[in-house]
Structure 1
């Protein structure tokens, strides 16, 4: 039986977490190995910030255990587990829960973003090993999917992009209808809102977690570009138009909160995908990447927008530059394990 047939569904990210999982950086997999020390500090800073709100488990290759322990400190649990890369949002399991208080994990196929960064055999095996370690039932899904390519509201709606999920480097030959059917079967969703593209410079082929996310049912937060000379201008205008015409699974028109994009930055002649949407919900808080420098003013605007949206949460900012130089940010490196309990409903949050 499919998870949805057993009443499992993916909860929203603002639902209560049991813990957060992260993978420690692997130098051999990095695009820019010379930045390894900086990236490790970025991961450790993010892990310690999250640990101020909820437990954090860091999966570490054996040879990196001493370094991870030194940088993360005693507040972060370290677990030896072999992996190739360190973007756990994408290669880790997706957790689903049901009203009876049961939790299960979806084991998607993982092919390293369309075969970009091979090998990925160890990454592909992590979900099974982790779910077995946690003694959590497993559903093996039939498609390639990264967690950063989807976002849900917990009430039946899912956001994604055609650029990623319909890319032939993931599930060649599958149609939008076929992929939609799998998402419904495994995540318990009813409606998929398809945007066309993600942001410029995104090596993941347009992951949604850089562009748009739900912040509560019926409400989305979207990063926008107001410069007609920027390649993100046309993309964000198109995405805005799609969202304005869309309805969620409950039939609601979407309330759209816009947040200005940071000032474009380049590193080694390549545009960095700077995004405030790549934040992370924690129990009682928000971990928000900021970028400083030319983006100091938009950082302030973004922080205030988050405080206005989430007055009940503590907003913690972290330096997003070390992570984005490798292609992602705090949402990309994390995966939440939700608290499953009888009578769960999507509105339950901390």
Structure 2
């Protein structure tokens, strides 16, 4: 089987130029409950914020296309495609580029975050539909993987967590070495840096995009929790220790920038939400950052602005997204720009 890396493809960093951003309209009523309309308003606000920097296409179920288009307003495209849920980072394609500026897409197997949400068969078809729509080369991967579980610097280094990718509810029977071989073959990475647990109560089983991300090669932005009574304190300390003891694919030690988590927020069931400022979207010349009507919003804005001095940082209230189990990064998927 020919893998993308065999043909020179790699997963670019998220700050490399984009052709557009893909999103999907919230539609799983049993997930959102009476918060569905608020979630839709929040998704629309994120889409409009991104559209100030790059084109946005919103996937909508065929019966909803006209209504969604009206709610989004001018300047945002819709794409008619049946789907079950609205987390494009996880069930959408992972796009790749090669040295000839050609585009490819990886279609990972999708099982509803380890079988937590049914049905998910329509979501499992979205990635292939998008890849074929943009006329990119299609590669079907042999493992279950969600896009929020991986993050790359575009230079051969990938961050992930053991809690997610080694979870038996994803790829039972596969060990760390086998998973690494697939990541290397399908994403063109040369080194995988394994963190341990993700954030407390993250129902994705610890996606890395809630915990840390690259802001440029060699520099990692880390979700910090200095409250020793909070379960995320141990998560933070372990992640920092692992990053301090690791190097990237170029042999560099990591510079770690910390961003303190927002104050605890509770969901509809009274459980603590896995809210994170790290869960943002990098657009062309812009960064769309979550805000939580929290005293720490301003410090988060300042930290991310320093990390991206050449970008405009825009904060969007994300509380109505987080109650569904994710953040701004989770609901978006960038398509790289190619010549």
1:275 aligns with 2:276: yes
Deviations 1:151-210 (A, max 9, x none): 000000000000000000000000000000000000000000000110011000000000
Does 2:218 correspond to 1:218?
A: yes
2:299 to 289, 296, 301: 301
Structure 2 residue aligned with 1:45: 45
> What is the Cα deviation at residue 26 of structure 1?
0.6
Asked if the contact 2:32–2:39 (Cα under 8 Å) also holds between the matched residues in 1, the reply is no
- Cα deviation per residue 1:113-156 (whole Å; 9 max; x = unaligned)? 00100111110011111111111110010000000000000000
Could you tell me the TM-score, scaled by structure 2's length?
Answer: 0.98
Name the SS of the counterpart of 2:122 in structure 1: helix
CA–CA distance in structure 1, aligned partners of residues 41 and 64 of structure 2: 13
Partner of 2:136: 136
Count of aligned pairs between the two proteins: 337
Segments ≥4 residues shifted beyond 3 Å = none
Structure 2 counterpart SS, 1:306: helix
- Provide TM-score, normalisation by structure 1: 0.95
Determine the C-alpha separation between the residues in 2 that align with 1:254 and 1:124.
35
Q: Deviations over 1:264-314 (max 9, x none)?
A: 11122111111011000000010000101xx22x11100011111111100
**Hey, what does 2:172 align to over in structure 1?**
172
Give the SS at the match of 1:204: coil
Please say if residues 157 and 191 of structure 1, whose CA atoms lie closer than 8 Å, have aligned partners that are also in contact.
yes
CA contact (8 A) 2:104 2:136 kept: yes
Partner of 1:151: 151
Per the alignment, in what secondary structure is the counterpart of residue 31 of structure 2? Answer: coil
Once superposed, what is the RMSD of the aligned Cα atoms? 0.8
Unaligned runs of 5+ in 2: none
Q: Gaps (5+ residues) in structure 1?
A: 342-350
Q: Which residue of 2 aligns with 1:25?
A: 26
The CA distance in 2 between the partners of 1:228 and 1:216, in whole Å, is 30
Larger displacement relative to structure 2 (304-313 or 34-43): 304-313
Q: C-alpha offsets along residues 235-261 of structure 1, whole Å, 9 cap, x if unaligned? A: 100110000000000000000001111
Equivalent position SS for 1:301: helix
**1:338 equivalent in structure 2:** 336
Instruction: Name the SS for the 1:5 alignment partner.
Output: helix
